[in-house]
């Protein structure tokens, strides 16, 4: 007997009220979409003669004018190297960068700005933890220790741990996910052992959109005496992040996905952990006393920030976070939840379209397959219609294997996307099916 | 902008749906894999070479319409050709998909000319040349997988 074709259930919005389909055509009164879109100059362009529909936000999102102006203002008005000058401009630039650190602190709910390390992005943040915490005199891994990752991790939250495990003779173990794309918490409980030292998990999956229950995971991890490292790259643009409530030990995110510049990101680390960690890169700015006989190091966060940093990046990131918090992450989550629901309904109704991942709690994106059409060809046809999506393995090859596909197409949302764009995406996919019929 | 139909020509769509010589080759004495780490496309090209001639050629693997059609049409174009001719065709094909031919005619490419539209899509050049790079590796007797990156 043949089984009926299964389509994924539409996801629930990440937070706030779900909109009904009939109300999805109009913006919530509290959310001034037109004004939001006007804040992003890049959006007002045409691609191949059609209005740009930008749905590759999980890769990089576009920047509001406030960010562009913050970066330009830094270079135009008060640019100098930070932390090492007595002159006026050096002081201004240093103050602005430290103010940005305070903005990041508030954004993630850290207790102290000293718990915020500026990095180039999530990848560098995780490598920092793997190098420094993972190889520290007190915290470092020994042979036989274990690191747990999940089956849905981006390569950046997998490969640094593989490198660490190889280096220390430790083992990497993988927490499986179920068919919906939810983490198997029972398996996590079983895999946690007295040998588990580090657990690394994405807050939100970059392929499935799954929101992982970080607070619950943190509780399990801490009961075993391990530390929890959270890759927040896909969560920071969509969810309110509060490291105190999440209870994680490290939290990493990137500027360029959260409407800020590329080349900047932040690592939150619990103060007592950072304090005990050795430097991972040497250079200017991270020292206390340098002598040929031996060097002592600055306290965190400077200990982990060797060399001239990305000054304008930190300032641009703070402008982006200010923009996001002024708009309100709750309002953003409600709006994006409506878009996601609309897109899931429209795509789910197209014959031959399969949504990959149907976790009950999701945010930000939809991965999908069009029967008989390679995701790259889906991407190229949509591009011809002015629609930018991502096609490929999304730096998550083990996850692609888990779902038995070489690649997926992914439409990922931002606070400036519209309901009409979701409908255009659906029409675009219908066009894909026509071309390859 | 180039029209989509310039890229997805009928002959390309047709070959992507019904690839020719899509099988392993029992008598193969050369084979090589081509791999695109950016998209996960992956092909194996099998060759049976004797007296400097490609007596038989086949391929297997997975990829997009462009890469699959290119592999399929490559096998058709090369069967019976000498290894020198194969190398020559590799060069010509590469020029066509990268748009280096200018206004020069590519009559001698035959059906492969359909891939000229790829030159308007720089990110897809690697799709079109994946199987060809595997072919070249196989001709040169390289054992390891070739990567387009």
Q: What is the pLDDT of residues A126-178, one digit of tens each?
A: 999 999 999 999 999 999 999 999 999 999 999 999 999 999 999 999 999 99
Query: Which residues on chain A place their C-beta less than 8 Å from a C-beta of chain B?
Result: 48-49, 372-377, 380-381, 384, 391-393, 397, 400, 406-407, 435-436
The confidence score (pLDDT) of residue A25 equals: 45
pLDDT per residue as tens digits for the range B26-74: 999 999 999 987 777 899 999 999 999 999 999 999 999 999 999 999 9
Residue by residue, DSSP assigns chain B as ---HHHHS-HHHHHHHHS-TTBS--TT-SEEEEEEETTTTEEEEEEEEEETTEEEEEEEEEE--HHHHHHHHHHHHHHTT-BHHHHHHHHHHHHHHHTTTTTT---GGGGGGGGGGGGGG-GGGHHHHHHHHHHHHHHHTT--SPEE--
If one compares A158 and A85, the residue with the highest pLDDT of the two is A158
pLDDT tens figures, A176-228? 999 999 999 999 999 999 999 999 999 999 999 999 999 999 999 999 999 99
- Regarding an ipTM greater than 0.90, the answer is no
The reported pLDDT for the residue numbered A14 is: 44
CB contact under 8 A, A377 and B8: yes
pLDDT band for B109, please (50, 70, 90 cuts).
confident
| B contact test, residue of A52, A159, A375, A376 with most B CBs within 10 A | A376
pLDDT digits (tens, 9 = 90+) for A373-414: 999 999 999 999 999 999 988 888 889 888 888 889 999 999
Q: Which of A361-370, A395-404, B105-114 has the lowest mean pLDDT?
A: B105-114
Structural domains in chain A? Answer: 21-62+328-435 (3.90.1150.10), 67-325 (3.40.640.10)
* Right CATH for B4-147 from 1.10.472.10, 3.90.1010.10, 3.40.710.10, 3.40.47.10: 3.90.1010.10
Domain ranges of chain B: 4-147
Q: Is the pLDDT of residue A17 over 60?
A: no
- Please report, rounded to a whole number, the percentage of residues in chain A having pLDDT higher than 70: 93
| Mean pLDDT value across chain B | 89
Q: What percent of chain B has pLDDT over 70?
A: 89
Would you call A406 and B38 a contact, using CB atoms and an 8 Å cutoff?
A: no
Q: Residues of A with catalytic annotation?
A: 395
Per-residue confidence at A13, pLDDT binned at 50, 70, 90?
A: very low
Query: What is the pLDDT confidence band of residue A8, given thresholds at 50, 70 and 90?
Result: very low
* pLDDT value of position A162: 98
């Amino acid at each position: 007997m043949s089984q009926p074709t299964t389509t994924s259930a539409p996801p629930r919005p990440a937070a706030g009220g779900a909109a009904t389909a009939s109300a999805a055509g109009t913006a919530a009164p509290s959310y001034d979409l037109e004004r939001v879109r006007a804040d992003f100059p890049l959006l007002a362009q045409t691609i191949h003669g059609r209005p740009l529909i930008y749905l590759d936000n999980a890769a990089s999102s576009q920047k509001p004018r406030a960010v562009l102006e913050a970066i330009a203002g830094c270079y135009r008005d008060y640019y100098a190297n930070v932390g090492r000058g007595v002159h006026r401009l050096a002081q201004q630039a240093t103050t602005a960068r430290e103010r940005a650190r305070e903005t990041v602190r508030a954004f993630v709910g850290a207790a102290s700005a000293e718990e915020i390390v500026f990095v180039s992005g999530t990848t560098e943040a995780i490598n920092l933890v793997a190098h420094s915490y993972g190889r520290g005199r007190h915290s470092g891994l020994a042979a036989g220790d274990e690191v747990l990752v999940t089956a849905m991790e981006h390569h950046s939250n997998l490969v640094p741990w593989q490198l660490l495990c190889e280096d220390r003779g430790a083992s990497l173990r993988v927490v499986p996910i179920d068919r919906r794309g939810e983490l198997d918490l029972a398996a996590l409980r079983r895999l946690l052992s007295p040998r588990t030292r580090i657990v690394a998990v994405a807050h939100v999956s970059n392929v499935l959109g799954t929101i992982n229950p970080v607070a619950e995971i943190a509780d399990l991890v801490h009961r075993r005496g391990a530390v929890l490292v959270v890759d927040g790259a896909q969560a920071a643009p969509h969810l309110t992040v509060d490291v105190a409530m999440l209870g994680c030990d490290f939290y990493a995110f990137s500027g360029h996905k959260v409407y800020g510049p590329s080349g900047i990101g932040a690592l939150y680390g619990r103060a007592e952990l950072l304090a005990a960690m050795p430097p991972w890169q040497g250079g200017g700015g991270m020292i206390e006393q340098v002598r040929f006989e031996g060097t002592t190091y600055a306290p965190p966060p400077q200990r982990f920030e060797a060399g001239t940093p990305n000054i304008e990046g930190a300032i641009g990131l703070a402008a982006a976070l200010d923009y996001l918090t002024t708009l309100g992450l709750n309002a953003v989550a409600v709006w994006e939840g409506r878009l996601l629901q609309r897109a899931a309904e429209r795509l789910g109704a197209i014959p031959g379209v399969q949504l990959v991942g149907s976790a009950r709690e999701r945010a930000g994106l939809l991965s999908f397959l069009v029967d008989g059409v390679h995701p790259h060809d889906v991407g190229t046809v949509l591009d011809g219609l002015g629609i930018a999506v991502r096609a490929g393995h999304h730096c998550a090859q083990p996850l692609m294997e888990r779902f038995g596909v070489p690649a997926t197409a992914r439409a990922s949302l931002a606070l400036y996307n519209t309901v009409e764009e979701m409908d255009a995406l659906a029409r675009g996919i219908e066009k894909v099916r026509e071309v390859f019929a | 902008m180039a029209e989509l139909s310039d890229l997805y020509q009928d002959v390309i769509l047709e070959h992507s749906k019904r690839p020719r010589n899509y099988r392993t080759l029992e008598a193969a004495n050369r084979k090589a894999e081509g791999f695109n780490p950016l998209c996960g496309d992956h092909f194996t090209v099998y060759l049976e070479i004797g007296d400097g001639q490609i007596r038989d050629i086949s391929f297997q693997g997975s990829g997009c319409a462009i890469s699959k059609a290119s592999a399929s049409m490559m096998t058709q174009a090369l069967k019976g050709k000498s290894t020198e001719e194969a190398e020559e065709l590799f060069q010509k094909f590469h020029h066509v998909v990268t748009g280096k031919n200018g206004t020069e005619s590519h009559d001698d490419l035959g059906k492969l000319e359909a891939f000229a539209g790829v030159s308007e899509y720089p990110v897809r050049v690697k799709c079109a040349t994946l199987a060809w790079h595997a072919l070249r590796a196989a001709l040169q007797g390289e054992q390891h997988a070739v990567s387009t990156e």
